[in-house]
Amino acid sequence: MDRYQRVEKPKAETPMNENEIRITTQGRMRNYITYATTLLQEKGSNEISLKAMGRAINKTVMIAELIKRRIAGLHQDTAVGSTDITDVWEPLEEGLLP
């Protein structure tokens, strides 16, 4: 792979809903939980959506369980999906296959 370089493609920015929380591996659990409880209790949201990819999925499950314990009367609707990610590589030298 040292004879190829990955082609960078711009990310399509998708707008986030106010009740959508995207969990990452770097974020602090306490901040996600505080934001979620604020949405549910103070801002009057009927539902929130926790989204994650890869290694952050375990953290998302833990956050959902902690929120359910802190706020009475919540229930959980889980949906699992997949996203296909394709990397494009181009050769650095002539004569190599793209």
Indicate if the pLDDT at residue 76 is higher than 80. Answer: yes
Contact 49, 17 (CB under 8 A): yes
For residue 65, what pLDDT is reported?
A: 96
Q: Tally Cβ neighbours within 10 Å of residue 44.
A: 7
| 16-80 fold | Translation Initiation Factor IF3 (3.30.110)
pLDDT at residue 51 in the model: 96
Domain ranges in the chain are: 16-80
pLDDT at 94: 83
pTM, rounded to two decimals: 0.78
Three-state DSSP class for residue 62: helix
First to last CA, the chain: 12
